[in-house]
Structure 1
Amino acid sequence: MRFLAPILPLAAFLATPALADGQPAERPGHYYLRGVMETGSELLLHPDGRFQWYLVYGALDLFAEGRWQEKDGAVLLTSEKTKDVPQPGFETLTLTVKDSALIPPDGRGAYVRPSDVKD
């Protein structure tokens, strides 16, 4: 099992007002899926336009990595076959941006940053 790469310090994200391709600088970061029982999922959006993702539900483990872009109120993840993930868990995944959360297509749960989670 391969885990997500170490997270860059928050200062690395805050130091750049916008990414090279015009993506908003506040979007990259580490997100956790909340609101879906018995499911674990994380999403890491890198500032360079790459992403890493996994989802665990019971005996099902899915992984994907590739490129991301934000457009028209959504974050589009496009997976690529890689040495580490030869069978991506999806081809494309569109997450709707709602405030600072990213909402999956089925509307269940939300990917949020740890600082956005309220206990």
Structure 2
Amino acid sequence: MSFIHTLIIWLPAYLTMTISNGQSIPKSITGEYYLTDVREVGSGIKLNPDATFEFFFAYGALDRFGSGTWKQHGSQIILTSRPRPEKDFALVTSQTVPGNKLTIRIIDSNKHLLRYVSIVAQNDTDVLHETTDAEGKVSFARQALKSISLRFELCPDRYSVFEVTNQTHNYYEFRFEPWISEVFFENVVYTLSEGELSGPHPLLEPGKTYSFERN
């Protein structure tokens, strides 16, 4: 049963484990911690006995997940994922095609996602901004570009920037990378106190402290 399917089921860990540095992990630390006091958002962190963690975030029709390892220093729990890849999109092709338009297109088997990509095209003097249509396309007047930036609006953590190496090209096709909805943690610190984790949330308001209560 996956973590998200255990939202209302408590599966406590009864054993005391030892992580790689030899530190003893009390049974009261491992388990599932759920975000509190944020309406219409489901989110949680599961600390596993083998010093790995799982993270989930559910808002409306959007589900996002993350994973990695955790370690304890006193009352602090530190979460770390694998290094985040450089880009969340991949360039499939760029070429010169007939016509006076510059076309940028997103392709994916899930057609419902195609309309949610924000595209910024930069030339020597201007910055052009548009959001893809239902077919995953945007079009501008044909021109030479310096760079193309893409951001998936359902996972708006960052732009993926592509430098344009051949300015005669006027057709660009990109695809989503499989990790585009994955949430990454880089030494994110939470404070453990009385069955609660407190600290930042990677997808909510920066600089704010949130509480995750142990189930």
Task: Write the letter of the residue equivalent to 2:14.
Answer: L
Match status 1:19 vs 2:4: no
1:95 is matched with: 190
Contact 1:68/1:76 (<8 A) preserved: yes
Q: Percent identity?
A: 28
Contact 1:23/1:69 (<8 A) preserved: no
Match of 1:51 among 50, 53, 56: 53
1:107 is matched with: 209
Quickly say closer, same or farther: Cα 1:23–1:33, change in 2 above 3 A: farther
Q: Deviations over 1:90-117 (max 9, x none)?
A: 2322212222100122213x11122xxx
Deviation at 1:74, TM superposition (A): 1.5
Distance 1:59 1:94 in 2: 28
Q: Deviations over 1:6-41 (max 9, x none)?
A: 87953xx3232x524314322111111111122110
Match status 1:36 vs 2:38: yes
Q: Which has the bigger relative contact order, CA under 8 A and spacing at least 6? A: 2
Q: What is the aligned-residue RMSD (CA, Å)? A: 2.9
Distance 2:24 2:41 in 1: 29
Q: Number of aligned residue pairs: give it.
A: 106
Deviation at 1:51, TM superposition (A): 0.6
Q: Deviations over 1:30-87 (max 9, x none)?
A: 1111111221102111111001101123454321101001114221111127xxx834
TM-score of the aligned structures, taking structure 2 as reference length: 0.42
1:86 is matched with: 179
Distance 1:61 1:23 in 2: 33
List 4+ stretches of structure 1 deviating above 6 A: 5-8
Gap runs ≥5 in structure 2? 84-177, 201-207
Gap runs ≥5 in structure 1? 115-119
Contact 2:69/2:80 (<8 A) preserved: yes
Contact 2:53/2:68 (<8 A) preserved: yes
Distance 1:34 1:45 in 2: 17
